Amino acid sequence: MEETKAFRWLLDVQPLWPASGGGQATQSTAHWAAGTAAQHALTFLTDGERARALRFYRPSDAKLSLGSNLLKHRAIANTCQVPWSKAVISEGAHKKPCYRPIAPSTKTLEFNVSHHGSLVALVGCLGESVKLGVDIVKMNWEKDHNTVMKDGFEAWANVYESVFSDQEIKDIAGFVPPTSGTDQDKIRAKLRHFYAHWCLKEAYVKMTGEALLASWLKDLEFRNVQVPLPASQMDASERNGGDWGQTCGVTEIWFYGKRVTDVKLEIQAFREDYMIATASSSKQIKLSDFEELDVERDVYPLQAQ
């Protein structure tokens, strides 16, 4: 069987499309959208996509929506070799965004997007035989730490009892951090372990497309979940430079008590507080390293398109 290769892209929207006069965080989306850079980028969306992006109250959310749509159009245009105007985003089962080629003989693309914080990730591969899912999580240390200090970790884990199996809840609540650090370090390690579980499950359910509607969330159980270390905590010899931390791909997947062996699942740390999980319905697929895109050079269409 020919090896399928999935590409993985990452776009950080934080430095992009500043509002005129700066100070984006406190401004309205309408003010942000009036900036020259945002106006330019928004012209590459369809009317509906632009309207949806501008409906977000906070400019930071509007930017994620803009970034998400730009990446989807770019992925379709590149992979299916169609002009930007024909790289139309549709919705498949359970509203999972997809591409429906105009002519049946033309190329197709499987893809999935996630955004959190200031990052947008897209994973994609040619064809439709493999299903893909991606999820980004970002720890909110201040908020999460306060909640854990107030209610304890068991209460924290129990909030998610409709999402995780009983064993997963036990694993999350009872996780013993491998480090011998301060109490704060231990809480951080437990929170990272929880977020790794969450991120992997989200990537899996997004791969299937069922997402929030999946009735089997509790019957999908991940065991031996490893938490990827951020680059700052890796041995110097292991570091590959930049913001990328460890990748862990040894999670066992169990579904209704049976081991699932044909799904590829991995999770990678990015900067201090992000983790990104990727799920693929085929183990044969090769997942390329994440490529950090430059919006001007790699994403925007040429004006002629």
Q: Which residues bind ligand COA (CB under 6 A)?
A: 65, 68, 94-97, 112-116, 135, 163, 198, 201-202, 205-206, 209, 211-212, 217
* Cβ at position 185, least distance to ligand COA in Å: 26
* Cβ at position 96, least distance to ligand COA in Å: 4
Q: Identify whether the C-beta of residue 219 lies closer than 8 Å to the C-beta of residue 204.
A: no
Q: How far apart are CA 284 and CA 240, in angstroms?
A: 25
* Cβ at position 274, least distance to ligand COA in Å: 12
Nearer to ligand COA, 193 or 206 (CB): 206
Nearer to ligand COA, 234 or 260 (CB): 260
Quick one: which of 117, 135, 139 has its CA closest to 13? Answer: 117
Q: Identify whether the C-beta of residue 218 lies closer than 8 Å to the C-beta of residue 224.
A: no
The DSSP annotation for 157-189 comes to: HHTTTTTS-HHHHHHHHT---S----HHHHHHH
Nearer to ligand COA, 159 or 250 (CB): 159
Which amino acid appears at position 144 of this protein?
D
* Cβ at position 103, least distance to ligand COA in Å: 24
Nearer to ligand COA, 147 or 149 (CB): 147
Q: How far apart are CA 100 and CA 274, in angstroms?
A: 32
* Cβ at position 183, least distance to ligand COA in Å: 28
* Cβ at position 238, least distance to ligand COA in Å: 28
Which amino acid appears at position 19 of this protein?
A
Nearer to ligand COA, 137 or 287 (CB): 137
Nearer to ligand COA, 58 or 239 (CB): 58
Nearer to ligand COA, 198 or 290 (CB): 198
Nearer to ligand COA, 173 or 234 (CB): 173
Q: How far apart are CA 292 and CA 111, in angstroms?
A: 17
* Cβ at position 10, least distance to ligand COA in Å: 13
Q: Identify the bridge partners of residue 264 per DSSP, sorted by sequence position.
A: 280
Q: How far apart are CA 286 and CA 6, in angstroms?
A: 6
Q: Identify whether the C-beta of residue 203 lies closer than 8 Å to the C-beta of residue 265.
A: yes
Give start and end residues of each alpha helix (H) in the chain.
29-33, 36-42, 47-54, 59-80, 141-151, 153-158, 166-173, 183-208
DSSP 3-state of 249: coil
* Cβ at position 237, least distance to ligand COA in Å: 33
Q: How far apart are CA 277 and CA 133, in angstroms?
A: 8
